[in-house]
Structure formats: structure tokens, C-alpha cells
Structure 1
């Protein structure tokens, strides 16, 4: 039985409606809670972090939270977002998705995967890393 579904969205991508709709359908079918996570880079720990204002990271997280809520309400409608948890994590994408899933005691992660570019062929796409390292089931929505 699935009690909690974690949907990982990249708010910088515009083609994530299918990922969110899939996660929402599964959650409704199972009577499960739907959590939605997006991850922003942690600007404080990188070499370039010293070039950013101290408040830049906090503002990036706030902006991402607003953008995430808007994206979700645009896709699911205002009525569909009342019971959802919107989570903005900061750091490595796949690590934060896995950490969020563990903290939320998620039974299923729904994540999108797109055709990898050359950079991802060398370091590995985030969806593949989530699938490989997740302690719960992962549903991958293939994006065109």
C-alpha cells in the first residue's frame, strides 16, 4: 500500500505537467498524501558562492517556493493543491530528493526523465541516480 507519494519537479523545465499529473493520479488512486519537491542549488558551498550576497540563497529558496506553488496550481488547478505539501530543498538534486523521500517516509517517488545530453552521459542523470539509490519504489515518467 502506498501512503505517501513524493513527486520531484524541476521548476526550470516547462514540460513537467505529465510528471505531476501522474503522481497526482497515483496518490488519488491509493488515497495517499502527495508531496512535491523541487531542488535549488546550494550557492553557499560552491566556489562561486563567495560572489553571491549572503541573502541570495534564502531568496532563491523563497522564489522557488512561489514558483513551485504556481506551477502546481497551474497544472492541477486551485482545488487540487489544498492538501499538498510543497517542499523546496537546497543542494544536490538527487541527494535532496532521496533525503526528502526518507524524511517524509515516502512509499513512492515519481520523477521525470528526459533524453540525456552529453554532459549527463558523463556524470549520470539525476533520475538514474534516484532509481539506483532509493530505498522506496520509483516511477519514472519518460518525457519526450
Structure 2
């Protein structure tokens, strides 16, 4: 592939990057990270809750593991599945899988009106908060030491 000069590159701002575009950025960053570290261990991680009859995913979490770190990206359960321990079980399974992959730490962010208390209850610790809208809310960044068995 011939690299275009910086003056010939078209810059586009979009709210709808295509999956191919996103993959190109992700894969390019991964190649750079491997070149710098010599470690090629980036893998997706998902724990999904499925309807037993339809097999349709009804909730769960997604993230990834890389360079000894588990990134928890998305976690959602519909209201009917909350409060009975399913979320705790899903989180524990994800953390256990991350440990099995050699991760020593985990990181995530949530919003102050979402679930920081849930994560705190499971041993996560607040690293910081950044104000966001609506006024009075914040993004809450949390981490967990996975080197300690639960």
C-alpha cells in the first residue's frame, strides 16, 4: 500500500464509521502495540446471557484482554434479569476468564447513574471521575486488581 502524503489526505468527521474503518484503526493500533512489546495477546471477551428457547442474546458483557489488562467495555442486563445474582455471576465469569488469560488488572467506566455501586460491591475501586451531562453526573472510571483470587 502506498502511503499518501499528509497534504493529500482527506479528513472526514462522521458519526457513522463503518465496521471496516473501525477494524482498520483497531488492527493498526494492535500491530503497533505488538511491534513495541513483542506481545500478541489481544482477544475479545464476552459473557452472554441467552434465552433458553430462542437462543437470542438477552444481556451480558463484552470487552477484551490485552497486555495483561481486561477492558470491560459494555455490560447490560434488562430490568427483568437484574437483582437475582445473574450480573454478579456474569462479572465473575469474565474476571475469571481474564485471569486465565494472564490479566493482572481490569478497567472500565460507567456513568454515575448506572452501576458504580455494583462494581464497588465486587471489589472494583474508583480511579477517577469526569463530569458529563446532565449536570451533576459523571463518568466513573474503575479498576480491579485481578492478581488476587476472589
| TM-score where L is the length of structure 2 | 0.30
Taking CA–CA contacts closer than 8 Å with sequence separation of 6 or more, which of the two structures ends up with the larger relative contact order? 1
Structure (1/2) with the larger strand percentage: 2
